[in-house]
């Protein structure tokens, strides 16, 4: 891999009869997935909905109505498709029917103290359901407490494993900003079903749900003014309809219920309406990876808690304060409360699971839970709802909502309503199995450190005077560091003289023989009198130092040279120079990109047209491919290729074998990038694979791919063979910003940074950026967390297994905060 980060200071000192399998056990055979040792919680497996409790018939508990302030103990483990062991929590749809008076139900693990929280509120004579995710207690059972006399029913739809049996890739949660998939009132998704009618709905590829590798989705199902009392059952399309219900309602009711449902093989769900005509609304809030999801595809694990009330606006406290007014939104801190981690350590909460309740609203309306964004909170409220209410009602619904920087937003549509929030768990990202190694443990003042593409050698510019004996020049020098820790100073003269000026950059070949560097020293080679910064190469085998930035006949450069990059073999070196004396007929008065051949001594200008004409604008940031046959660079020149009329910098690749120049920051149909009038530039980072086939870059252009509407820098991949351009910071259908793009030499891995939480459901660190690992072909970006701060990568190994990264915080927990460079083993 060869890459260049622009505009960033790189001063890095260093439902059928069988279970729907969405997760694999820890002892899965090859090809079935393996457990992740660092899993902070459980992975999800859906099962065909099965009734476990019905006190009307005596199923699961003694027959008969449950008395007021009574409770039943329900055995769950080993029933309804739930394993007898290895289960931490279960997903239940709990229903009350025929209550004698208004009341509530609380579901909690057997053996735990009953919490001051509720899962389901009801009125006299009502039949109403709510979904609950509850941890298993003593004997694999749960308890259901009811405050009023009523019958109780419970259907199981899935379970979460224990951490030690969690899958490393399947059944992991990916939260989304809520999105509407269907509204039969307007014909969106499907038309309103009549009595005894089933509708199907396409889910994959919509609302942020990816088109493949999805096992189940978390939905909010709302019925709006049905013509009669009844129920709706949601289940995977193509499977037999189970004898259970998802949501129960009365005539003219407006009611919602959360459900987690497995998808049919076509990525669809089925919705059965039992009676009357029932308008249905479907909102998606997240998805679970399927069994086909590749390892490393990311996702969050579920951690169960005994329910805890964190919001009660009737008792003004906390971030929400008092009741919410009309078209009003409040923000509640969830992280670091009630047992939810802060996210600063190894476990990052990305979504909260709990029960949201509207209490005594002054008019009809709805509540929406959502991840709050920047600026005015109400501006980030999505077109979706979590629960609907009428005047004076008490209405609950389970929420599974993405967090933003540990925060949860709640929006009230109309009137004034109090809200309750009981938290029963959270989804968390684990710290990836990272390995951080400091290449030079005792040098805390590297100016820039790089790594050979095979990871065998490092090169650094450092002020340290203790890395080698006899370092007394009081200047930053260039050093080569072998993997065994042996350090060699390379910014020395032909006879080993110490440099009399500073050295600022260094690159090393895979075999460690060649080290290229930039220096303003005057004594490294004879007759260096130009008082300019030059590019040098040290041959550590022949013990020679050669100046590369010289023109025909050895004429010295009349401008500074900088930005050195090296091929894997070290025999070709690219750099940028403002000199006009390095090649003949350099009359453009602009900086150009050059390539030096170490073996032949030939110096050529790369920033030229296919016909060899010089560019009419500034060219910089030259990067040579690992194979040495291609140079990527940016240029403001308008004549390097035909029809360059956008007036901004573009990304070009010069093929040194065919002597052709092509523009690569273009659309798949060849259209040029549009300029950003406020910035005056287009490209902010670029990188190229060893064979020169693929370039990765970040750009502010919004026309390179369809539907680029985020108004931010994005990371793109350009396949120069197929002529296709794709955006990786829109993985899974979401749009996020991206920068610092770096691709591995084999093209398998891209590292980039983002300030957005859209890719992973977590907010960036305190320095504003989170690093992501993108594996090509997976459409998934995995965040690197669990450490205080990791900056943009300087280099990725050819095979994508390691990267050189900078950190500005106390990564190795020494109690000292400084800027250093580390080698990171990628997840």
What per-residue confidence (pLDDT) applies to 265? 83
How many other CB atoms are found less than 10 A from the CB of residue 272? 18
What per-residue confidence (pLDDT) applies to 317? 59
- For the chain, the C-alpha Rg in angstroms (whole number) is 31
What per-residue confidence (pLDDT) applies to 329? 86
* 313 within domain boundaries: yes
Picking from 371, 405, 429, the residue at the C-terminal end of a domain is 429
User: In this structure, are 21 and 163 located in the same domain?
Assistant: yes
Q: Which residue has the higher pLDDT, 274 or 466?
A: 274
What per-residue confidence (pLDDT) applies to 331? 81
Using alpha carbons, select from 274, 271, 266, 268 the residue that is nearest to residue 249: 274
C-alpha 545/C-alpha 548 separation (Å) is 10
Residue 366 in this model has a pLDDT that exceeds 70: yes
What per-residue confidence (pLDDT) applies to 336? 75
Residue 528 in this model has a pLDDT that exceeds 50: yes
C-alpha 180/C-alpha 688 separation (Å) is 39
* 348 within domain boundaries: yes
C-alpha 365/C-alpha 415 separation (Å) is 7
Q: Residue 165: what are its φ and ψ, rounded to 5°?
A: -110, 10
Q: Residues 382-408: pLDDT tens digits?
A: 888 899 999 999 999 999 988 876 788
What per-residue confidence (pLDDT) applies to 23? 26
Domains identified in the chain, total number: 2
Least confident of 219-233, 252-266, 756-770: 756-770
What is the separation of C-alpha 211 from the centre of its chain, rounded to a whole number of angstroms?
A: 17
Q: Which two tokens stand for residue 92?
A: 């239940």
Q: Which residue has the higher pLDDT, 307 or 620?
A: 620
Q: Which two tokens stand for residue 562?
A: 């900088």
Give me the chain's average pLDDT, please.
86
What per-residue confidence (pLDDT) applies to 36? 32
pLDDT band of 117, cuts 50, 70, 90: confident
Q: Residues 296-355: pLDDT tens digits?
A: 667 889 999 888 888 899 886 555 668 999 998 888 888 777 788 865 555 678 889 999
C-alpha 316/C-alpha 472 separation (Å) is 67
Q: Residues 469-503: pLDDT tens digits?
A: 999 999 999 999 887 788 999 999 988 999 999 99
Residue 451 · residue 460 · CB < 8 Å: no
Q: Which residue has the higher pLDDT, 281 or 443?
A: 281
pLDDT band of 53, cuts 50, 70, 90: very high
Q: Residues 575-611: pLDDT tens digits?
A: 999 999 999 999 999 999 999 999 999 999 999 999 9
* 22 within domain boundaries: yes
Residue 410 in this model has a pLDDT that exceeds 70: yes
Average pLDDT of span 64-88: 97
C-alpha 400/C-alpha 419 separation (Å) is 16
Q: Which two tokens stand for residue 225?
A: 């003014």
Average pLDDT of span 120-126: 94
Q: Residues 234-281: pLDDT tens digits?
A: 999 999 999 999 999 999 999 999 999 999 989 999 999 999 999 999
Average pLDDT of span 648-655: 96
Q: Which two tokens stand for residue 784?
A: 């690197």
What is the separation of C-alpha 633 from the centre of its chain, rounded to a whole number of angstroms?
A: 28
Sign of the torsion angle spanned by Cα atoms 378, 382, 386, 390:
positive
How many other CB atoms are found less than 10 A from the CB of residue 581? 17
* 521 within domain boundaries: no
* 377 within domain boundaries: yes
Largest CA distance in the chain: 103
Q: Which two tokens stand for residue 343?
A: 């996210």
Residue 453 · residue 568 · CB < 8 Å: yes
- Host domain of residue 146: 17-167
* 247 within domain boundaries: no
Question: Given phi > 0 = left and psi -120 to 50 = alpha, else beta, which region is 786?
Answer: left
Question: Given phi > 0 = left and psi -120 to 50 = alpha, else beta, which region is 496?
Answer: left
Q: Which residue has the higher pLDDT, 423 or 681?
A: 423
Q: Which two tokens stand for residue 490?
A: 């390379």
C-alpha 42/C-alpha 165 separation (Å) is 8
Q: Residue for token digits 């003004």?
A: 316
Q: DSSP secondary structure string, 375-394?
A: SSGGGG--S--SEEE-TT-E
Percent of residues, the chain, with pLDDT higher than 70: 84
Using alpha carbons, select from 19, 120, 55, 7 the residue that is nearest to residue 634: 7
C-alpha 26/C-alpha 293 separation (Å) is 16
Using alpha carbons, select from 622, 589, 782 the residue that is nearest to residue 3: 622
Strongest mean pLDDT among 186-190, 399-403, 736-740? 186-190
* Per-position b or e across 470-508, b if 16+ CB within 10 A of its CB: ebebebbbbbbbeeeeebbbbbbbeeeebbebbbbbbbb
Q: DSSP secondary structure string, 266-328?
A: TSEEEEEE-SS---EEEEEEEEEE-TTPPTT---BEEEEEEEEEEEETTS-BTTTBS-B-TTE
pLDDT band of 18, cuts 50, 70, 90: very low
Using alpha carbons, select from 778, 701, 720, 716 the residue that is nearest to residue 752: 716
Least confident of 644-648, 680-684, 794-798: 680-684
Picking from 137, 167, 197, the residue at the C-terminal end of a domain is 167
Residue 392: which CATH number?
2.60.120
Pairing of β 436-437 and β 820-825: antiparallel
C-alpha 477/C-alpha 469 separation (Å) is 13
Residue 413 in this model has a pLDDT that exceeds 60: yes
What per-residue confidence (pLDDT) applies to 169? 86
Q: Which two tokens stand for residue 381?
A: 């409220």
Terminal alpha carbon distance of the chain: 18
Residue 45 · residue 23 · CB < 8 Å: yes
Average pLDDT of span 711-717: 91
Picking from 142, 167, 192, the residue at the C-terminal end of a domain is 167
* 817 within domain boundaries: no
Residue 753 in this model has a pLDDT that exceeds 60: yes
C-alpha 141/C-alpha 547 separation (Å) is 76
* 121 within domain boundaries: yes
Q: Which residues pair with 551 in a beta bridge?
A: none
Residue 19 in this model has a pLDDT that exceeds 70: no
Q: Residue for token digits 């889910």?
A: 203
pLDDT band of 432, cuts 50, 70, 90: low
Average pLDDT of span 532-538: 98
Residue 119 · residue 130 · CB < 8 Å: yes
Sign of the torsion angle spanned by Cα atoms 624, 626, 9, 520:
negative
C-alpha 85/C-alpha 88 separation (Å) is 9
731 three-state secondary structure:
helix
C-alpha 21/C-alpha 272 separation (Å) is 23
Least confident of 36-45, 58-67, 574-583: 36-45
pLDDT band of 684, cuts 50, 70, 90: confident
């Amino acid at each position: 891999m060869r890459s260049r980060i622009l505009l960033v200071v790189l001063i890095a000192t260093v439902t059928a009869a069988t279970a729907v399998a969405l997760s694999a056990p820890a002892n899965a055979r090859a090809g079935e997935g393996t457990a992740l040792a660092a899993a902070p919680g459980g992975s999800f497996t859906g099962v065909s909905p099965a009734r476990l409790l019905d006190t009307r018939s005596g199923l699961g508990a003694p027959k008969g109505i449950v008395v007021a302030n009574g409770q039943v103990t329900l055995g769950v483990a080993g029933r309804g498709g739930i394993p007898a062991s290895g289960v931490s929590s279960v997903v239940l749809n709990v229903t009350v029917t025929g209550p004698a008076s208004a009341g509530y139900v609380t579901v909690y693990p057997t053996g735990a103290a009953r919490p001051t929280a509720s899962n389901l509120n009801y009125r006299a004579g009502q039949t109403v359901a709510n979904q609950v995710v509850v941890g298993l207690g003593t004997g694999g059972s749960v308890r259901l407490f009811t405050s009023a006399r009523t019958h109780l029913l419970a259907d199981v739809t899935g379970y979460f494993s224990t951490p030690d049996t969690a899958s490393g890739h399947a059944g992991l949660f990916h939260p989304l900003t809520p999105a509407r998939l269907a509204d039969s009132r307007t014909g969106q998704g499907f038309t309103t079903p009549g009595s005894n009618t089933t509708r199907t709905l396409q889910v994959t590829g919509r609302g942020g749900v990816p088109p493949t590798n999805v096992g189940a989705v978390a939905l909010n199902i709302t019925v709006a003014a049905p013509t009669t009392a009844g129920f709706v059952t949601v289940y995977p399309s193509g499977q037999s309809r189970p004898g259970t219900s998802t949501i129960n309602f009365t005539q003219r009711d407006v009611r919602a219920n959360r459900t987690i449902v497995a998808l049919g093989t076509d990525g669809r769900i089925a919705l059965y309406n039992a009676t009357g005509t029932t308008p249905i609304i479907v909102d998606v809030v997240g998805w679970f990876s399927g069994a086909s999801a590749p390892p490393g595809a990311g996702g969050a694990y579920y951690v169960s808690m005994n329910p805890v009330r964190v919001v009660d606006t009737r008792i003004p406290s906390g971030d929400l304060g008092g009741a919410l007014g009309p078209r009003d939104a409040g923000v509640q801190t969830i992280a670091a409360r009630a047992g939810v981690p802060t996210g600063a350590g190894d476990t990052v909460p990305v979504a909260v699971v709990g029960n949201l309740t509207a209490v005594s609203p002054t008019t009809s309306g709805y509540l929406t839970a959502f991840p709050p964004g920047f600026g005015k909170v109400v501006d980030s409220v999505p077109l979706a709802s979590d629960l609907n209410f009428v005047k004076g009602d008490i209405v609950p619904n389970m929420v599974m909502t993405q967090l933003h920087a540990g925060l949860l937003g709640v929006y009230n549509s109309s009137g004034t309503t109090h809200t309750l929030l009981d938290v029963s768990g959270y989804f968390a990202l684990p710290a990836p199995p990272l390995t951080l190694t400091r290449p030079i443990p005792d040098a805390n003042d590297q100016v820039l450190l790089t790594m050979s593409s095979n990871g065998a050698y490092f090169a650094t510019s450092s002020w340290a005077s203790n890395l080698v004996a006899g370092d007394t020049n009081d200047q930053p020098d260039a050093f080569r560091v072998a993997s065994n820790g042996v350090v060699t100073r390379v910014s020395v003269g032909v006879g080993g003289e110490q440099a009399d000026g500073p050295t600022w950059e260094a690159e090393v070949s895979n075999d460690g023989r060649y080290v290229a560097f930039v220096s303003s020293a005057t004594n490294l080679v004879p007759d260096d009198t130009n008082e300019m910064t030059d590019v040098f190469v040290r041959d550590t085998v022949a013990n020679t130092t050669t100046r590369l930035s010289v023109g025909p006949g050895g004429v010295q450069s009349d401008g500074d040279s900088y930005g050195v990059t090296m091929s894997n073999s070290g025999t070709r070196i690219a750099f940028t120079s403002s000199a006009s004396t390095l090649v003949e007929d350099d009359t453009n008065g602009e900086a150009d990109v050059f390539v030096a051949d170490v073996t032949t001594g030939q110096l050529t200008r790369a920033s030229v047209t296919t016909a060899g004409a010089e560019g009419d604008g500034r060219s910089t940031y030259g990067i040579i491919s690992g194979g040495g046959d291609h140079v990527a660079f940016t240029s403001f020149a308008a004549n390097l290729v035909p029809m360059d009329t956008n007036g901004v910098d573009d990304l070009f690749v010069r093929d040194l074998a065919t002597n052709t120049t092509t523009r690569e920051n273009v659309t798949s149909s060849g259209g040029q990038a549009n300029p950003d009038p406020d910035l005056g530039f287009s490209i902010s980072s670029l990188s190229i694979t060893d064979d020169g086939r693929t370039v990765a870059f970040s750009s502010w252009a919004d026309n390179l791919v369809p539907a680029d509407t985020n108004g931010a820098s994005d990371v793109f991949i350009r396949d120069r063979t197929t002529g296709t351009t794709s955006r990786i910071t829109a993985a899974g259908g979401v749009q996020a910003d991206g920068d610092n793009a770096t691709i591995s030499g084999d093209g398998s891995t891209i590292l980039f940074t983002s300030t957005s939480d859209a890719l992973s459901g977590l907010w960036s660190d305190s320095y504003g950026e989170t690093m992501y690992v993108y594996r090509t072909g997976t459409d998934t970006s995995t965040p690197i967390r669990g450490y205080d701060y990791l900056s943009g990568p300087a280099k990725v190994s050819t095979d994508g297994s390691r990267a050189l990264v900078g950190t500005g915080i106390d990564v190795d927990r020494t109690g000292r905060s400084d800027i250093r460079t580390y080698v990171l083993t990628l997840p």
